[in-house]
Structure 1
Amino acid sequence: MTRLRRLLQAFQILTEAAGKWTWVWLGLLLWQGLLPVGTVYLTKTLVDGLVVALPLGTQGISLLIWPVTGMASLLLLGELGQSALGWVRAYQAERVRDYISLLIHRQSTRLDLAFYETPNYHDQLHQARGEASQRSLALLESWGQLFQNGMSFLSMFVVLSTYALWLPLLLLIGTLPAFYVLLVFNRQHYRWWKETTPERRWTEYYDLMLTQKVVAAEVRIFDLGEHFTTIYQSIRKTLRQQRLRLLRNQSLGRLGASALGLGVSGAAMAWMFWRSLQGLASLGDLALFYQAFNRGQTLMRSLLGSLSEIHQSGLFLENLFTFLQLEPQLQDPKSPKPMPSKLERGIEVEGVYFRYPGSQSWALENLDLFLPAGKFTAIIGDNGAGKSTLIKLLCRFYQPERGRILLDQSKLEEFSVEELRSMITVLFQWPVNYQATVTENIAMGDLKSPIEETRVRAAAVMAGAEETINRLHQRYDTLLGTAFVKGTDLSGGEWQRIALARAFYRQAPIILLDEPTSALDPWAELEWVSRFRKVSEGKTSLLITHRLNLARHADLIYVMRNGQIVESGSHNELLASSGSYAHSWKAQLQQQPIAI
């Protein structure tokens, strides 16, 4: 019952994708399915006509005009129908492929960030994405063949039944072994395909390591090419041998089933020849029987083959439906609180514990801090202290295991996730370098409204990116990145300024910046912080940085270590406390390495 429901769901998806063309497709299939029986009957009429016409010479030509004209007309109509069906199938295929991709892309962006932290999710995504479009199209084709050949087979069934009612049963007996072989090996192939998902993902990973620009330099300097190639080829060899073994066993099974089918066909034809010799059937009957039984056997094999393909495609599409049924853990409340247009009190983090999915160690442990509204707060700390994790929790990408985060004294989970995130603009530690024009790169910070050129330029000025943009050959219309023709690459610092401009383009009351000046030199950094103070005036802003010279400009500074706050205060207050911040500041003045 579950399998049938899945197949009906798949058919619903296919009809939603193709729309009204589904009915055109079914009409053409019905027409193509009924044509063979007309051809078979006209063949009988033509053969019987020839038997009568040949002794009459030219006078017998009139007896052949009708069957010859009819067969020519059916052949012409068949070719026209086949051409129309080919175009409709191509149209359906394109629509289905795009629709399945749309479903997968929407689901991928809908799910929580936590899903991306688990290998199981990546296996499910790979299984859904790797076969979904191909199997959906195969299912569409199989259903079409099942419908068309079903119509033809019913027609042949009627024809054969006029000679003997047991002939259609003989057809079924002759084709059942082939159907059984298909079912068995379909399940074996699906089981192998599912069990080898991790191995196939590893081959994709090593393929990326050998072909992508982002790792090209390191692969060459450390001479990793042969190492990755060897591992890739080793995994592919194992997968190839397993698949070829399956195909060999399937071919042997099919050979045996085909031999049985030929034996049944030979027995049926021998019976019909015997009837002809006894004068119980004419030459036309013999020609009709041969075509009807031969086509019937072919159609029966095709029908069972289509059922097998539908079964196999259903197995693979089960992965698509499983993926589409995944639900985000972070759900909106039934009655979300309205978001404040501006923070009045601020953001409070109280006793928060958090660890990433699958991890046994705490990323944040009993974390307490307060981000006052309208103030500039900085957090400094060593790598792995939990600073970037805090930003992810503030964006509500994850839910703390214990503790709570309050926004103006209301829990974050009391707000709509979408509305909460619209209140926040972020520069992540590793921002994305989009393959798009400068204007598009910046405007991606807020695509809910039409792109405003003045806002784009203002954001570029605030981020210190305007000088870089003005040097480009098409300025704001320059395509960034080198993945496509006419693209222009930027340095790390220049890319960072573009990403920062994107963050500033979204005019949100909460600003979260993770290492915004890591790719800038000290002079550019001082210029940047001066601009940032003006941009963030009246907004609640959080800056994560390793650089004390940048953090000292904040109204409030937190020192973070091992997922906890160990010091807090203004720059002068922290210096007066003679803690780790003060020690590091003195070390910086003496041009010694700084460790917080």
Structure 2
Amino acid sequence: MEVKEQLKLKELLFIMKQMPKTFKLIFTLERALFIKLIVFSIITGILPIVSLYISQELINSLVTIQKDVSIVISIFLTYLGVSFFSELISQISEYYNGKFQLNIGYKLNYKVMKKSSNLALKDFENPEIYDKLERVTKEISYKPYQIIQAIITMTTSCVTLLSSIAFLMSWNPKVSLLLLVIPVISLFYFLKIGQQEFFIHWKRAGQERKSWYISYILTHDFSFKELKLYNLKDYLLNKYWDIKKTFIGQDTKILRKKTYLNLIYEIAVQLVGAVIIFIAIMSAFAGKIMVGNVMSYIRSVSLVQNHSQSIMTSIYSIYNSNLYMNQLYEFLELKEEKNEGHKKQIVEPIDSVVFQNVSFIYPNQGEQTLKHINVSLHKGERVAIVGPNGSGKSTFIKLLTGLYEVQQGDILINGINIKELDMDSYMNQIAALFQDFMKYEMTLKENIGFGQIDKLHQTNKMHEVLDIVKVDFLKSHSSYQFDTQLGLWFDEGRQLSGGQWQKIALARAYFREASMYILDEPSAALDPIAEKEIFDTFFSLSKDKIGIFISHRLVAAKLADRIIVMDNGEIVGIGKHEELLKTCPLYKKMDESENYMNPLEEERSKWTEVQYQG
């Protein structure tokens, strides 16, 4: 949605035309509660004028009373009844309002989270979509409810306003219409400020994310050591405050405009009200109307003033919130990553993978990340992928796992084009440990069970996998406490080192019954002994399956059935270690660099290699 700083009538009409969309969304989520709130708001809007009329009759009856007080008592009791009824309606309405606010907030947040989970990886790597998600999630707890509350308040105010003006018009139609002139004129200016306010918040979404990120790293344990050691506190606090100072200046400017407009509006309304009250007093002095009528007209003017202001505020809020709602609708209408068509094939165990002339380029980048990749992978084969940083290894894995769509060329799975496969069934055959693996601040059971969610309660199998990966640090009396909270975000959590978290992530991958196992830099956070254990387990579990691992360490790659060497998005070598030393200059250079060390390191390297070879 294009957001402009200047408000035009057609843009205002377009925004207000979105209201049916909002009603449809509300009815989908909370139809019954919303109808109840509207009914109560209409009743609440009628009661003030009913109360006003009864009080007028009560005062007039006191003025004209002679001997019979029964009429006065009857009117007084009626007045009390209406007051009690009004309070009852108010309390019931408050209850439903609170319930509605809770339900609508949770349900919309659930809807946004569900939508996010159905997007593609490329959407999360797109800054424009990420900013849109930031705007939506930042205000979802109150903006949608704010527009509903504004609609309900406006309904009440409109009923009260119209009934009050009708009451005044029964006395003096021409004068009463003056009370409507100023709100109508002021409406456009209120909405113009609303447009400017939304534009400011819309434009600064990127900066909001930056300030959130600074706050995040300053308030969480993972960053504390570096912040303390390098004394980054003051720099980051100043950076955060510079961003917020800009926000404060922008918000203060809008607040000043609102204050000036409200002041002018209130003065104008008070002057018109004073004229009407003066006319009423003069009419009573001339004997044309009674004292009770004067009091009721004064109160009617006050009701019109208050509720016209309330309507203005509500329209302003509806307009401003509708701009947000349009952002929400645009996000909810984003294309989801789904299996489309009716001929999608279910994937049985993966026996072969073939890349045929596959190329890939990231959005807004001029150079291809992968260039004409041709390679095949087969069951029972363990393949190492090596190459310098930025050579395209991770992009290759993302295409292989179906996280990216193939742009050019074909990927064949068991001889079938990956585009013809049911992606859910395909991904069910893959277990992966990514370089940026997740550290779920949840229980041990969830951390492992997320590998195959439909077997979350199979703790016996989890026990086996944890033993295979040697997660001894969580073992107590020969067993694992699967309810143990991992991480320090929540109460009674247990902190883990980077290597320990990686072992948990590895156990999660091995918990899945897959036919293709993928490890992306599995030894990054591990010591040599743990590294050897990881690869021993990998080679054991991937027997008779497809096993793929990315590694910068050739000592591990040597053990693979084949080594794929990548550089600058291309495959520059395929073969075994000895063969590549002769045919691939880059691989030879990597080997020489890895073996360039002092005598002590050389002895350690030999020991490590002996460990790998058992």
Q: Is the 8 A contact 1:178 1:254 kept in 2?
A: no
Find out whether 1:469 has 2:481 as its counterpart. Answer: no
Partner residue in 1 for 2:348: 341
Instruction: Give the AA of the match of 2:114.
Output: R
Match for 1:110 among 118, 132, 138? Answer: 118
**CA distances 1:135-171 after superposition (whole Å, capped 9, x unpaired):** 1111111111111222222322331221122244212
Q: Is the 8 A contact 2:284 2:290 kept in 1?
A: yes
Partner residue in 1 for 2:35: 23
Deviation for aligned residue 1:118: 2.5
Find out whether 1:253 has 2:265 as its counterpart. Answer: no
Instruction: Give the AA of the match of 1:33.
Output: G
Find out whether 1:99 has 2:104 as its counterpart. Answer: no
Q: CA RMSD in A?
A: 2.3
3-state DSSP of counterpart to 1:100: helix
Match for 1:49 among 61, 80, 83? Answer: 61
Match for 1:458 among 464, 489, 492? Answer: 464
Q: 1:441 to 1:80 in 2, by over 3 A?
A: same
Deviation for aligned residue 1:585: 4.9
Q: Is the 8 A contact 1:469 1:476 kept in 2?
A: no
Partner residue in 2 for 1:184: 192
Q: Distance in 1 between matches of 2:581 and 2:196?
A: 69
Partner residue in 2 for 1:283: 291
Partner residue in 1 for 2:21: 9
Partner residue in 1 for 2:9: none
Q: Superposition pairs for residues 401-440 of structure 1, below 5 Å? A: 401-440=407-446
Q: 1:532 to 1:231 in 2, by over 3 A?
A: closer
Deviation for aligned residue 1:580: 4.8
3-state DSSP of counterpart to 2:391: coil
Q: Superposition pairs for residues 54-73 of structure 1, below 5 Å? A: 56=66, 59-73=67-81
Q: Superposition pairs for residues 268-347 of structure 1, below 5 Å? A: 268-328=276-336, 331-344=338-351, 346-347=352-353
**CA distances 1:285-334 after superposition (whole Å, capped 9, x unpaired):** 21222222221232222223222221121112211112112114x55341
Match for 2:383 among 369, 373, 377? Answer: 377
Q: Is the 8 A contact 1:118 1:358 kept in 2?
A: no
Deviation for aligned residue 1:572: 5.0
3-state DSSP of counterpart to 2:486: coil
Find out whether 1:237 has 2:245 as its counterpart. Answer: yes
How many residues are aligned here?
A: 587
Partner residue in 1 for 2:490: 484
Partner residue in 1 for 2:607: none
TM-score by length of 2: 0.90
Q: Distance in 2 between matches of 1:440 and 1:215?
A: 25
Partner residue in 2 for 1:522: 528
Q: Superposition pairs for residues 198-217 of structure 1, below 5 Å? A: 198-217=206-225
Q: Distance in 1 between matches of 2:334 and 2:40?
A: 38
Instruction: Give the AA of the match of 1:544.
Output: I
Q: Distance in 1 between matches of 2:581 and 2:314?
A: 78
Partner residue in 2 for 1:79: 87
Instruction: Give the AA of the match of 2:335.
Output: E
3-state DSSP of counterpart to 1:560: strand
Find out whether 1:35 has 2:47 as its counterpart. Answer: yes
Find out whether 1:503 has 2:515 as its counterpart. Answer: no
Instruction: Give the AA of the match of 2:29.
Output: A
Q: 1:383 to 1:277 in 2, by over 3 A?
A: same
3-state DSSP of counterpart to 2:482: helix
3-state DSSP of counterpart to 2:547: strand
Q: Distance in 2 between matches of 1:443 and 1:572?
A: 41
Deviation for aligned residue 1:107: 1.7
Find out whether 1:135 has 2:143 as its counterpart. Answer: yes
Q: Distance in 2 between matches of 1:73 and 1:185?
A: 43
Q: Distance in 1 between matches of 2:291 and 2:584?
A: 112
Deviation for aligned residue 1:504: 1.0
Deviation for aligned residue 1:98: 0.7
Match for 2:563 among 550, 557, 568? Answer: 557
Q: Is the 8 A contact 1:333 1:413 kept in 2?
A: no
Structure 1 residue ranges, 4+ long, deviating more than 6 angstroms after superposition? none
Identity %: 25
Q: Is the 8 A contact 2:218 2:224 kept in 1?
A: yes
Q: 1:497 to 1:450 in 2, by over 3 A?
A: closer
Deviation for aligned residue 1:586: 6.7
Deviation for aligned residue 1:565: 1.6
Q: 1:584 to 1:210 in 2, by over 3 A?
A: closer
Structure 1 stretches lacking a partner, 5+ long: none
Q: Distance in 2 between matches of 1:245 and 1:119?
A: 28
Q: Is the 8 A contact 1:209 1:228 kept in 2?
A: no
TM-score by length of 1: 0.93
Q: Distance in 2 between matches of 1:277 and 1:340?
A: 92
Partner residue in 1 for 2:6: none
Structure 2 stretches lacking a partner, 5+ long: 1-12, 603-614
Q: 1:361 to 1:576 in 2, by over 3 A?
A: closer
Instruction: Give the AA of the match of 2:349.
Output: K
**CA distances 1:358-396 after superposition (whole Å, capped 9, x unpaired):** 333332222222111232211122222211111111122
**Which range moves more in the overlay, 76-85 or 473-482?**
473-482
**CA distances 1:470-510 after superposition (whole Å, capped 9, x unpaired):** 15996332110011111001122111111001011111112
